[in-house]
Amino acid sequence: MHSTAISLIELGAIFFGLGMLGRLAWRIGVSPIPLYLLGGLAFGTGGLLPVTGLGEFTSIAGEIGVILLLLLLGLEYSAAELVTGLRRSWMAGVVDLVLNAAPGAVAGLLLGWGPLGAFVMGGVTYISSSGIIAKVLGDLGRLGNRETPVVLSVLVFEDLAMAVYLPILTALLAGVGLMGGLSAVGIALLAVTVVLVVALRFGRYVSALVDNPDPEVFLLRVLGAALLVAGIASQLQVSAAVGAFLLGIAISGSTAENATRMLEPLRDLFAAIFFVVFGLNTDPRLIPPVLGVAAVLAVVTTLTKVATGWWAAGRQGIARMGRLRAGAALVARGEFSIVIAGLAVASGAVEEGLAPLATAYVLLMAILGPVAARVAEPMARKAMAVLRPQQAT
């Protein structure tokens, strides 16, 4: 059979399979991310039925998926909201960073992966999944709850932390050394500062540059601008994903709303491919040896995220159940943990065990996060109901 025909058949099978997995995830009420990862594991190296003819396409498509994920995340926030959120949540954000990056960093050191492996694993365990959390809060009808702004403020801090972390990670993976790393940090901070200033003062001009009443022209402008900015950012070693995130921040108002609506289907498609590609590049035979470590990390970082949300909500005077809901909502990890691990694995600068550990960890946390958000409050109320009669006697 002709190679083009084989590639089309394999690609069609992947797309159709993703649709089936997405439908299954919707039916059972979980994020599709772990199912996409499992699908990639099944059809990748060492899987049940490896596919071989899609390497170049899936690599580019996966990169576009990361760019669209970060672009739409940036579109969710205006520069003013980011600045306000940072002022309100910086202390909670620092607590979140310390509590949740430390377990991953310690695991990387104990596994003998050195400072670079520890730095990567710290990022994997630190960052919550904004996509999963937003969906869970919407599904549970909690977007109007008093604790929800606390959760969103912590997520905003994490997103800004990623704008600094990813350039540092890119520089370290490239082996540019201390001076190169400091240069990357300086460029990242300068880029974030410039974009925030431009977005605050001239955001309407950026929006006008990509806006157009014709949907086709508008889509081409937004997508083209995102890829251009991402490419330039990548050339400056600031990370393509961060460039897309900063562009999203600069676009505001009705333009951002229209861009989000039009780009969401593309984001979902290419992001699904990204998760599958990560699974394709991970040998499932390497997961069982690290499953115990992943489970320990899952338990520890679930507790640290709950503690983060509890403490942050408590500072705002929120009652105990609201604090518990805030902590449980932050548990989920997903797309950005895989983005971090994907960058590290693609560089070839980290141990081969990192990819299967990150995969197993995200599989556990992407499932555990939504479950924790749903059951934490009912379980706490049942426990309190049981304890009250005992205390009365």
Q: What is the mean pLDDT of residues 224-248?
A: 77
Structure tokens at 227: 């890829």
Note whether residue 4 is domain-resident.
no
pLDDT per residue over 251-305, tens digit each? 877 888 888 888 888 888 887 887 777 777 777 787 888 899 999 999 999 999 9
pLDDT of residue 372: 86
pLDDT at 181: 60
pLDDT digits (tens, 9 = 90+) for 131-150: 678 767 766 778 678 888 88
More confident residue, 389 or 94: 94
- Give the list of residues 6+ apart from residue 89 with CB closer than 8 angstroms, or none: 150, 153, 154, 156, 157, 312
| pLDDT for 393 beyond 60 | no
Residue 301, pLDDT score = 95
Tell me how far apart the alpha carbons of residues 101 and 270 are, in angstroms, rounded to a whole number: 28
* pLDDT(50) > 70: no
Task: Quote the CA–CA distance of 94 and 126 in Å, as a whole number.
Answer: 11
Q: What is the model's pLDDT at position 305?
A: 95
With respect to residue 27, please indicate whether it lies within any of the assigned structural domains.
yes
Please count the other Cβ atoms lying within 10 Å of the Cβ belonging to residue 359.
30
d(CA 57, CA 251): 29
Spatial contact of 290 and 114, defined as CB atoms under 8 Å apart = no
Sign of the four-CA dihedral 259, 262, 363, 148: positive
Q: By mean pLDDT, which of 83-97, 187-201, 239-253, 356-370 is the weakest? A: 187-201
Residue 359 is part of which domain span? 10-383
Give me the pLDDT at residue 207, please: 81
Decide if 1 is inside a domain.
no
Q: For residue 138, count other CB atoms closer than 10 A to its CB.
A: 10
Cα radius of gyration rounded to whole Å, the chain:
21
Q: Which range among 12-21, 34-43, 257-266 has the greatest average pLDDT?
A: 257-266
Q: Strand, helix or coil at 74?
A: helix
Measuring CA to CA, how many Å separate 59 from each of 62, 104, 195, 233? 5, 27, 29, 18
The alpha carbon dihedral of 345, 347, 348, 351 has a sign of negative
Tens of pLDDT along 295-353?
Answer: 999 999 999 999 999 999 998 888 889 999 999 999 988 778 888 888 788 777 787 78
Looking at residue 99, which CATH number applies to its domain?
A: 1.20.1530.20
* Stretch among 5-9, 81-85, 106-110, 266-270 having the lowest mean pLDDT: 81-85
- Look at residue 147 in the predicted model and tell me its pLDDT: 85
| Domain-located, residue 3 | no
pLDDT of 36 above 70: yes
Evaluate whether residue 392 is within a structural domain: no
Report the chain's mean pLDDT, rounded to a whole number. 80
Is pLDDT at 76 greater than 80 in this prediction? no
Is the model's pLDDT at 123 over the cut of 60?
yes
Q: How many domains does the chain have?
A: 1
Residue 124 reports pLDDT greater than 90? yes
Answer yes or no: is 5 within a domain.
no
Determine the pLDDT at residue 327. Answer: 93
What tokens appear for 182 in the block? 């400091």
pLDDT at 152 over 60: yes
Q: What is the pLDDT of residues 157-206, one digit of tens each?
A: 887 787 778 777 877 777 765 566 666 667 667 766 776 677 667 777 77
- Sequence-distant (≥ 6) Cβ neighbours of residue 268 within 8 angstroms: none
Is 2 contained in some domain? no
pLDDT at 239: 64
Q: Which residue has the higher pLDDT, 20 or 174?
A: 20
pLDDT band at 381 (very low <50, low <70, confident <90, very high): confident
Model confidence at 390: pLDDT above 60: no
Q: What is the pLDDT of residue 101?
A: 95
In a domain, 388, yes or no: no
